């Protein structure tokens, strides 16, 4: 049988905020155990949960006074329904000398952090907002690392904002394309499939890249128009997810210059070996849904060789593919390369009718180029 511990009652069924105030007056401690269990702290007959926590002393003064750990302990029982807490104490501190306490977030501050985390604010901004909310100087608040730990723990645990491959694989497979989805129901798809027809989820390395697409049947059916009536757009964006993987946006523009989303791909690299399987998966998915081959006559992409090669390999088989490119993207990349080679004998912008003295602010005044292997618009 476990050893019986003679706990001393400090407070019984007080408000959680008052309980935080009681704990804040004690010497420095750390939480060694925190479990949810059936509530025994209140008289409510309905079954409910409570939070059972054990706190141990981590004061530097006690640590230096004894060879073994300080025997002082605290037990808290917090009812999750009534928001009441009972606090019990056991043992004495090894040293009566007080030591500087580490600043910790209070319950109200943690709740404020969770609220702002739900709105996708960064820990630095949350800490500054906390200073304004509670009218406390930044120097008096817990360190930024404390706020970061609280925000990251909440994001990983409750908002599934993590990069655990197993959990992500389960989420993707649960939403994999089966053909039985509703017209507007979102699903995942990919090029490499396992024996069950589920997308193979890589770990983001060069050997096992991460390539997963998201779309609906209604979005795919937008491509069921004559190939000469639309332009297929491919564009890479960044910082739209926790790992900051590039998000490949695939869409189409019609003759009225309206843009219509077709699919989103989360990829780990922007290379031809990654972009090409994504486009191949899109073409195959279009056939599965519409029973028609996807024919593309015009495409528009960034000034990126990987995207150009992938589009040519997937949609250039009929020999009628024409690749368009935004003129600003061409000049932007040319200016960046020219700046790096400013001291060279010849500049890359001379290909586009621009001398080495051109600056980025003059891009809008540059003349259009002659047509080469790609068309600029």
Tell me the per-residue pLDDT of 265-275, one tens digit each, with 9 for 90 and over: 988 888 899 99
Query: Is 267 buried (19+), middle (13-18) or exposed (0-12) by CB count in 10 A?
Result: buried
Q: Taken in order 265, 238, 130, 36, is the CA torsion positive or negative?
A: positive
Give the model confidence (pLDDT) of 116-165 as tens digits. 998 889 999 999 999 999 999 988 899 999 999 999 889 888 887 766 77
Buried b or exposed e, range 201-218, using 16+ CB within 10 angstroms: bbebeeeebbbbbbbbbe
Q: How far is CA 225 from the centre of its chain?
A: 35
CA-wise closest residue to 193 among 277, 293, 292: 277
Q: 257's torsion region: left (phi>0), alpha (psi -120 to 50) or beta?
A: left
Q: What is the DSSP string of 89-141?
A: EES--S-----PPPP---HHHHHHHHHHHHTT--HHHHHHHHHHHTT--GGGS
CA distance 3 to 46: 30
Give the model confidence (pLDDT) of 184-203 as tens digits. 999 999 999 999 889 998 88
Q: What is the pLDDT of residue 282?
A: 93
Q: What is the pLDDT of residue 243?
A: 57
Sketch the domain layout of the chain as residue ranges.
8-158, 165-325, 326-377
Collect the ranges in the chain with pLDDT lower than 50: 345, 349-377
Q: How far is CA 5 from the centre of its chain?
A: 45
Alpha-carbon distances of 323 from 8, 257, 340, rounded to whole Å: 78, 17, 27
- Tokens, residue 356: 């080495």
What DSSP designation does 157 have? H
Q: What is the pLDDT of residue 335?
A: 73
């Amino acid at each position: 049988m476990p050893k019986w511990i003679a706990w001393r009652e400090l407070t019984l069924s007080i408000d959680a905020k008052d309980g935080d105030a009681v704990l804040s007056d004690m010497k420095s401690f750390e939480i060694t155990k925190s479990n949810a269990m059936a509530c025994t702290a209140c008289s409510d007959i309905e079954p409910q949960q409570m939070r059972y926590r054990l706190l141990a002393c981590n004061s530097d003064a006690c640590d230096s006074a004894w060879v073994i750990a300080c025997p002082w302990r605290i037990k808290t029982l917090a009812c999750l329904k009534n928001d009441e807490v009972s606090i019990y104490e056991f043992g004495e501190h090894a040293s009566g000398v007080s030591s500087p306490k580490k600043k910790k977030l209070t319950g109200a501050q943690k709740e404020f952090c969770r609220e702002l985390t739900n709105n996708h604010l960064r820990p630095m901004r949350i800490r500054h907002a906390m200073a304004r909310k509670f009218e406390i100087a930044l120097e008096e608040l817990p360190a930024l690392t404390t706020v970061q730990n609280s925000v990251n723990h909440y994001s990983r645990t409750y908002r599934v904002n993590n990069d655990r491959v197993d959990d992500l694989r389960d989420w993707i497979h649960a939403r994999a394309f089966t053909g039985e989805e509703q017209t507007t129901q979102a699903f995942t798809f990919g090029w490499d499939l396992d024996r069950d027809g589920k997308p193979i989820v890589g770990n983001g390395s060069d050997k096992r890249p991460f390539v997963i697409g998201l779309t609906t049947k209604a979005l795919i059916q937008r491509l069921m128009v004559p190939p000469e009536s639309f332009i297929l757009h491919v564009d890479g964006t960044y910082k739209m997810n926790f790992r900051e993987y590039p998000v490949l946006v695939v869409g189409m523009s019609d003759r009225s210059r309206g843009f219509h989303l077709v699919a989103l791909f989360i990829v780990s690299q922007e290379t031809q070996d990654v972009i090409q399987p994504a486009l191949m998966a899109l073409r195959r998915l279009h056939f599965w849904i519409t029973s028609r081959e996807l024919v593309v006559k015009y495409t528009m992409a960034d000034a990126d060789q990987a995207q150009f090669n992938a589009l040519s390999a997937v949609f250039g088989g009929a020999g009628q593919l024409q690749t368009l490119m935004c003129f600003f993207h061409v000049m932007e990349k040319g200016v960046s390369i020219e700046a790096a080679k400013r001291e060279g004998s010849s500049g890359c912008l001379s290909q586009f009718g621009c001398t080495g003295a051109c600056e980025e602010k003059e891009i809008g005044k540059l003349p259009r180029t002659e047509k080469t292997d790609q068309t600029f618009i």
